[in-house]
Structure 1
Amino acid sequence: MMFDIPDGTEALIFDCDGTLVESMPLHMEAWRQAFMHFGAAFEEDFLNSLKGMQEKAVVESYNRAFGKKLNSEAMVRRKHDFFRKHMSEIKAIDPVADVARFYYGKLPLAVVSGSRRSVVLEELNIVGILPLFKVIFTADDPYNPKPAPDLFLEAARRMKVEPQRCFVFEDGESGIVGAKAAGMPAVNILDYVSTIQLPVNPGGVK
């Protein structure tokens, strides 16, 4: 197996987008479509630096950084409309998904994501791994989002495992920071995995 699970690990926690599921290129294209629709510049490097952050917070951070007044709710709705039209194109990141498949039934498994619950459930279902996870936390749950540790701590509590006995798989800085703040060892999968490349312009949309 590509990843070394620390001795004494009693539960595994996974991010969804960019960790279990290679949906980030599609998310980026959906953001590009939303920014283009509202006449704002698409700052890909800036958006990549916010991976794992809730979507409304992404727009608010963009507004602060670039002096804009974009409506966060309208932006997120536009992004979701495009994303959902092309969700069938996403794939599992198998080196990570295979960890979940291997440990299913051996250790408790959880997903902690900054995306909406409906999106996370549909993504996991599309790639065939939704049944592996009994504990799933998303942006719709009433806890402080990443990089705060709250979601990770609540996942550990729900699995009845001490935080330091959980091992976290992430692909974004906010998730790594949140996991470590919760006292959990974590791995950035991008140090090990070359993720799947989806078309930059899914479905040929212009």
Structure 2
Amino acid sequence: MLLPLPPGDFQAYLFDCDGTITDSMPVHYQAWQQALAGWACDFPEDLFYAWGGRPAADIIVDLNERHGLAMPVATVNEHRESLFQSGLATVEAVPGVLEHIEEAFGRVPFAVVSGSTRESVTASLTALGLLDRFPVLVCAEDYARPKPDPEGYLSAARQLGVDPARCLVFEDTELGVRAAEAAGMAFVRVPPPWDR
């Protein structure tokens, strides 16, 4: 079933990736739990979802501060990413969002704006057979200020040559919605797995 869209004549659709296009948040959370287990680092599920959209390296830095740990950020992040990619075979597209991608592809240009790395986004979209739908990928390494800063969304609009006010954002996290609003873009809030 298609998610309802706000009124407007939109000339581009900008999508977050994890939890928006790909129903990958449960797989991400499992990868986090496995990667942090050796450090006895507690990362509750409600905090994981509250921090959705943040770059993984920033999360590890904050977990170190919260728990008085000295986890090596790059090492833990690489391990987490490897665990996530090994679980990609179980990931499916988010219902309601996939239908919009199929309905609008070729009529409206698309971009992905994600707090995940290009490697992670590319692997996720490839696993679903959707990578070719997104000519523009704006990933964690492509902007300095993560969501809720609008930088990533404004960069995607620029690359597509579309006025930000004519872009529609699909987002599952509060940080992402705030980034879309700060960019002057309309948005569709994608419900979490337990509300679908």
Q: TM-score, normalization: structure 1?
A: 0.88
Q: 2:48, 2:65 → 1: CA distance?
A: 13
> In 1, distance between residues paired with 2:95 and 2:44?
29
Distance 1:136 1:185 in 2: 19
Q: CA RMSD in A?
A: 1.8
What residue in structure 1 maps to residue 174 of structure 2?
Answer: 173
Identity within the alignment, %? 34
Q: Which residue of 1 aligns with 2:183?
A: 182
Residue identity matched to 2:125? L
CA distance in 1: counterparts of 2:177 and 2:145, whole angstroms: 15
The 3-state SS of whatever aligns with 1:26 is: helix
How many residue pairs match? The answer is 195
Which letter does structure 1 place at the counterpart of 2:109? P
Report the counterpart of residue 50 of structure 2 in structure 1. Answer: 49
SS of equivalent residue, structure 1 residue 111: strand
Quote the residue 1:38 is aligned against: 39
SS in 2 for 1:38: coil
Q: Is the CA contact (8 Å cut-off) linking 2:85 and 2:123 kept in structure 1?
A: no
Aligned to 1:143: 144
**2:4 corresponding residue in structure 1:** 3
1:48 partner amino acid = Y
The 8 Å contact of residues 47 and 58 in structure 1, kept in 2 or not, is answered as no
In 1, distance between residues paired with 2:145 and 2:152?
A: 7
Match runs of 1:22-171 below 5 Å: 22-171=23-172
- Indicate conservation of the 8 Å contact 2:6/2:188, yes or no: no
CA distance in 2, matches of 1:51, 1:84: 18
2: CA distance, partners of 1:91 / 1:2 = 17
- C-alpha displacement at 1:164, in angstroms? 1.0
Residue pair 1:15, 1:113 contacting (<8 A) in 2 also: yes
> How many Å apart are 1:68 and its aligned residue?
3.1
CA contact (8 A) 2:6 2:186 kept: no
Partners of 1:191 and 1:79 in 2: CA distance: 22
